[in-house]
Structure 1
Amino acid sequence: MIDFANAAYVKLNERNPADAHADLAELLLPDERVLVAFRGIRDSVTFTTKRIVAVNVQGMTGKKKDYTSLPYSRVQAFSVETAGTFDRDTELELWFSGLGLVKLEFGAGVDVRGLSRLLAERCL
């Protein structure tokens, strides 16, 4: 399990959903689609039609990976912080039943309001 309190999910930027689908193809259910995906330096977060999949790449070679599935059904609350004039980064905070707070930080230009709509559609 990824330690989200100390996770290196800093400054996630958008990535091609098709690339994320290819990376996660063996984990996805037959009727599950990738909606939007983000990548950090090595790690990634993907929002699908059923869950959020966080991938933590480990080790020097990056061959070892931790896949954490965060089902929308376990989200108790979420919060988005938009960019400001001087602080161009955005944030998404999710509170999961049994897990606690998961905080994701995004680089400039990521539409966190769109993520908020996506979460509202899946969680409410």
Structure 2
Amino acid sequence: MGFINGMFGNASTVSKASAEEELASILIEGESVDAAFKLVRDLIVFTKKRLILVDKQGLTGKKTEYQSIPYKSISRFSIETAGRFDLDSELNIWISGTELPAVSKQFKKDDSIYDIQKVLAAVCM
């Protein structure tokens, strides 16, 4: 069901072990994954110190961008839930000193946006 959710833009939970295996070359010594979510091919990963956004690009997904955002740099975030006619949910994250969101992710109508918001709230408070 995770693959089907991913195909339709729904975020699905990824096991910590699986995310740590995929990010083995990115994580620093002693850093572990607290929570991870998959959105199509991309990952949203929370560790004790930072948010890691993994953007797989191209047809094969071989080219990958890793964006690391320390929690102390996040000035605010917002979620917009899906409505009756607007079926998309949206996550926006602002970094200190920026006027526009540094991160903007689209989700189809699904409840995982609430789980991501809860983790963000916990790490940014």
**TM-score (norm: length of structure 2):** 0.73
User: Per-residue CA shift, 1:47-93, capped at 9, x if unaligned?
Assistant: 23322211222345433322110111101111111222233321111
What's the RMSD between the two structures over aligned residues? 2.4
User: Per-residue CA shift, 1:15-72, capped at 9, x if unaligned?
Assistant: 42332222112212313223121222x3332223322211222345433322110111
* Greater RCO structure (CA 8 Å; 6+ sep): 1
- 1:38–1:61 CA distance, 2 compared to 1 (3 A): closer
- 1:26–1:34 CA distance, 2 compared to 1 (3 A): farther
Instruction: Using the TM superposition, name which of 87-96 and 58-67 deviates more.
Output: 58-67
| Residue ranges of structure 2 left out of the alignment (5+ in a row) | 1-7
Alignment-derived partner of residue 76 in structure 1: 75
- 1:109–1:60 CA distance, 2 compared to 1 (3 A): closer
The size of the alignment, in residue pairs, is: 114
Are the equivalent residues in 2 in contact too, given 1:44–1:55 (CA < 8 A)? yes
Instruction: Using the TM superposition, name which of 67-76 and 10-19 deviates more.
Output: 10-19
Are the equivalent residues in 2 in contact too, given 1:15–1:39 (CA < 8 A)? no
| Residue ranges of structure 1 left out of the alignment (5+ in a row) | 1-9
Q: Helix, strand or coil: the match of 1:25?
A: coil
Are the equivalent residues in 1 in contact too, given 2:82–2:108 (CA < 8 A)? no
Alignment-derived partner of residue 84 in structure 2: 85
